[in-house]
């Protein structure tokens, strides 16, 4: 009897240790729970720290800069908006005790070892205002060499962002990091085994996988830098080709005071539209960086740089000749000529019945000419958008309406602003709906 009780106690102890329980009629249930694993994926980054001085009187500038290792994918829309190997740049800086701090965001055109940075620096002021200014220039493993550009927010004239940024690199590690991580948690399998004396053993395994949502990526494309003459101009180009992904909420940061910009968010694309005011006579050339970002993920953004030249319109030469009997004066005035557009292609488009957009391109000259064109349409369902002028290339974006009827056609004639000179024609054919 004593020996049997000891055996029963030993059996009960072993059952408890295995996480089992004893039911009626000698039925034993055993349950085991698998382990849980968590995986975190962090995109590779190059981090550097630069320490130098800033401004006058000089203050210490301590900046940490991170460059993403994967080139940002581009979705070119036209030859003007072509592919480049761009890298994402993030970071922050401080100017020591009693100074100010701020962030660094932008793009690196080139490689992490030799590239040109274009982006925005911010400065956090004591009154709560955040100053913002464009900066651009070389970013190398040896130093930063960034020149200040257009003021985006001066905080009533109190912005401290007034000087170039050119600190050398230091061997100390960066102080901040802005990684984007993805975490997935997967509970392991749970199995239950029921054993009845005199019967066989069966088991059932159930596996459940749960993914934790993370901030999404819009997959923005990056329009090239465009250059404009003093009279101004406009542009319309795709920054996201296709339907807007989940967890993507495109937004446009406030532009410079002389740029009017908006985002057109449609079912098949996100289009950046903007126009420039004329640069007043006597004003220097100017630049502006437009930032388009995902409002749900601050590290997901793209930028577009606009450069506008100064007024170079009129040259006056006066010659005075005096003789013993007469005095004559002649004045010669030269004005920049109108641009001439050529090589417009393609000359025709075959369109589906759904609404959409297409681009034609051409070349223009001579250098320094006064930009501008006008359009003559044979229909109302093809709509020219703001023309993009840059280098010697010109882009003509068009949007077209959906067709719910029979097939149709349209011709758009591109002319000089006064309509007296025809540069070319583009034909549109759209299938029926």
At 379-428, the pLDDT tens digits run 888 988 878 877 788 899 999 999 999 999 999 999 887 678 899 999 99
CA distance 433 to 431: 7
- Per-residue pLDDT at 224: 60
- Per-residue pLDDT at 347: 94
Average pLDDT taken over every residue of the chain:
75
In the numeric block, the tokens 């940002």 are attached to: 72
Answer yes or no: are the C-beta atoms of 261 and 293 closer than 8 Å: no
Residue 215's pLDDT band, with cuts at 50, 70 and 90, is very low
Residue 303's pLDDT band, with cuts at 50, 70 and 90, is confident
CA distance 47 to 63: 11
Least confident of 74-78, 242-246, 247-251: 74-78
Least confident of 3-17, 215-229, 247-261, 396-410: 3-17
pLDDT of residue 343 exceeding 90, the answer is: yes
pLDDT of residue 286 exceeding 50, the answer is: yes
For the chain, what percentages of helix, strand and coil (3-state, to nearest 5) are there? 5, 55, 40
pLDDT tens digits, one per residue of 51-84: 999 988 888 898 999 887 644 444 343 334 334 4
Report cis status (omega within 30 of 0) of the bond before 366: yes
Backbone φ and ψ of 65, nearest 5°: -125, 135
């Amino acid at each position: 009897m004593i020996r049997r009780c000891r055996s029963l106690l030993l059996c009960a102890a072993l059952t408890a240790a295995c996480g089992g329980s004893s039911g009626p009629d000698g039925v034993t249930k055993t349950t085991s729970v698998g382990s849980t694993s968590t995986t975190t994926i962090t995109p590779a980054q190059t981090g550097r720290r630069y320490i130098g001085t800033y401004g006058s009187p000089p203050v210490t500038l301590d900046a940490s800069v991170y460059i993403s290792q994967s080139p940002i994918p581009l979705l070119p829309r036209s030859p003007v908006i072509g592919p480049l190997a761009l890298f994402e740049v993030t970071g922050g800086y401080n100017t020591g005790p009693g100074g100010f701090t701020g962030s660094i965001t932008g793009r690196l055109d080139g490689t992490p070892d030799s590239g040109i940075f274009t982006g925005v620096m911010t400065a956090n002021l004591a009154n709560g205002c955040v100053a913002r200014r464009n900066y651009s220039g070389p970013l190398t493993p040896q130093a930063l060499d960034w020149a200040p550009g257009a003021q985006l927010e001066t905080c009533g004239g109190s912005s401290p962002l007034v000087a170039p940024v050119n600190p050398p690199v230091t061997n100390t590690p960066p102080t901040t990091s802005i990684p984007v991580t993805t975490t997935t948690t997967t509970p392991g399998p749970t199995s239950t085994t029921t054993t009845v004396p005199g019967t066989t053993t069966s088991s059932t395994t159930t596996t459940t996988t749960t993914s934790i949502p993370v901030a999404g990526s819009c997959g923005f494309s990056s329009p090239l830098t465009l250059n404009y003459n003093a009279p101004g101009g406009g542009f319309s180009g795709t920054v996201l080709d296709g339907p807007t992904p989940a967890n993507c909420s495109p937004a446009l940061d406030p532009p410079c005071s002389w740029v009017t910009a908006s985002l057109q968010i449609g079912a098949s694309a996100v289009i950046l539209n903007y126009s420039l005011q004329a640069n007043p006579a006597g004003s220097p050339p100017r630049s502006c960086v437009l930032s388009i970002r995902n409002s749900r993920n601050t590290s997901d953004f793209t930028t577009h740089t606009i450069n506008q030249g100064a007024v170079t319109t009129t040259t006056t030469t006066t010659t005075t000749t005096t003789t013993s009997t007469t005095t004559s004066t002649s004045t010669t005035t030269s004005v920049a000529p109108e641009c001439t557009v050529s090589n417009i292609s393609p000359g025709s488009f075959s369109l589906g019945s759904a609404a959409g957009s297409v681009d034609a391109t051409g070349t223009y000259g001579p250098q320094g000419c006064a930009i501008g064109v006008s359009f003559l349409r044979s229909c109302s369902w093809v709509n020219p958008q703001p023309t993009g002028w840059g280098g010697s290339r010109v882009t003509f974006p068009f949007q077209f309406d959906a067709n719910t009827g029979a097939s149709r056609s349209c011709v758009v004639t591109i002319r000089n602003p006064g309509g007296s000179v025809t540069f070319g024609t583009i034909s549109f054919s759209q299938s029926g709906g």
